[in-house]
A = this chain, B = another copy of it.
Amino acid sequence: MSELRVAVVGAGLMGADHVIRIEERIIGAHVSAIVEPDEGRAKSAMATAPNATWFPNVEAAIEAKAMDAVLIATPGQFHEPVLVPALAAGLPILCEKPLTPDAASSLRMVEAEVATGKQLVQIGFMRRFDAGYENLRNLIAGKKQGELLGLHCAHRNPAVPDTYHNDMLIFDSVVHEIDAVRFLTDSPIKSVQVRHMKRNTLNPEKLNDPILVLLETESGVLASVEMNVSVQFGYQVKTEAVFEKGIAEIGRTAGMTTFFDGQIATEEHMSFKTRFAAAYDTQIQRWVNATKVGKIDGPSAWDGYLAAAAVEAGLTALHTGERVATEYAAKPAFYA
């Protein structure tokens, strides 16, 4: 088949990054359309996508038959208005996480997809494409070391912008672990509890961070998540898995080791852009490959809905301090 023509919707930080990725590193696809109301942003992104046409909204692009598939990279609250017409047009979609900001709207998207009669939506939980997570999942599934009993996760950012506020700890950051824990255990989140560590005085005043989030899966695995957005030293995402017969750990940095000034040291990442660079590339390449044969190859709209519902429980847990049970709609047979 010839090259997949991709419309990138949203040309902000994330969208612009995807444009460069598709143009420079992804085989079998190119950016044919940039959908972005802000003309300046659109033109700036088009500098690296010479064959792309600019559209101010997704409907115009659909009418112009400007693409074979859609990559949605706008903020979460703007996903639904893009998803609805794209689904109606029967277009394959890679939708950056979250599917939508809340469980009710996410369930609407699930229903809209079911109505098309075909799985079209993949969610951008890119950690599923990280080699470490994949290896750990295989180790868990193989049961060579017995059952998985628990997980200790750490998700650490050096700092966050002033616009970052407390609820984002759950819906913007912990949402990654919510999906990753499910991916690793193959079991939905059953309850969420949030405990506070001592507050880091170096973060913006409205933040009460770091927190320790306890995610329990329906299969009985307990995952503790240190969510920490102001740890200063670097960007670090790691997971320690507790098995019946031992432990496994992913996420340690591995670069050059230097021995200077009395220290033996390796560098840590400073941003998700380098930490998950390969995962983003792999995600898009596999999505392009699958799309060409009419499939998705990653988390589905249903996975997006489950994450949205667990995020809701997580927000209640954050606000109340209680252990909060998740509530899910019945799973459509469509997602068997």
Residues of chain A whose beta carbon lies under 8 Å from any beta carbon of chain B: 24-27, 131-132, 135-136, 139, 145-150, 152, 154, 156, 193, 195-202, 210, 212, 214, 216, 219-222, 224, 226, 228, 230-234, 236, 242, 244-250, 252-268, 270
Q: Please tell me if the beta carbons of A210 and B150 are within 8 angstroms of each other in the complex.
A: yes
CA distance A156 to B212 in the complex (A): 21
**Shortest Cβ gap from A62 to chain B (Å):** 27
The 6 residue pairs across chains A and B that have the minimum distance between CB atoms: A254-B254, A233-B246, A150-B197, A246-B260, A265-B265, A247-B259
Which residue of B27, B131, B200, B265 is within 8 Å of A263 (Cβ)? B265
Q: Please tell me if the beta carbons of B214 and A195 are within 8 angstroms of each other in the complex.
A: yes
Question: What residue in chain B is nearest A236 (Cβ atoms)?
Answer: B259
Q: Please tell me if the beta carbons of B147 and A198 are within 8 angstroms of each other in the complex.
A: yes
Residues of B within 8 A of A228 (CB): 242
Q: Please tell me if the beta carbons of B226 and A152 are within 8 angstroms of each other in the complex.
A: yes
Residues of B within 8 A of A24 (CB): 27
Q: Please tell me if the beta carbons of A249 and B253 are within 8 angstroms of each other in the complex.
A: no
The residue in A139, A228, A254, A256 that gathers the most chain B C-beta atoms within 10 A of its C-beta is A256
Q: Please tell me if the beta carbons of A256 and B198 are within 8 angstroms of each other in the complex.
A: no
List 18 additional contacts besides A197-B221, A263-B268; criterion CB under 8 Å: A149-B198, A149-B210, A150-B210, A197-B242, A198-B221, A202-B245, A230-B244, A231-B245, A233-B259, A234-B246, A246-B258, A247-B259, A249-B259, A250-B257, A252-B254, A263-B263, A263-B265, A265-B266
Question: What residue in chain B is nearest A233 (Cβ atoms)?
Answer: B246
Residues of B within 8 A of A197 (CB): 149-150, 220-222, 242
Question: What residue in chain B is nearest A278 (Cβ atoms)?
Answer: B278
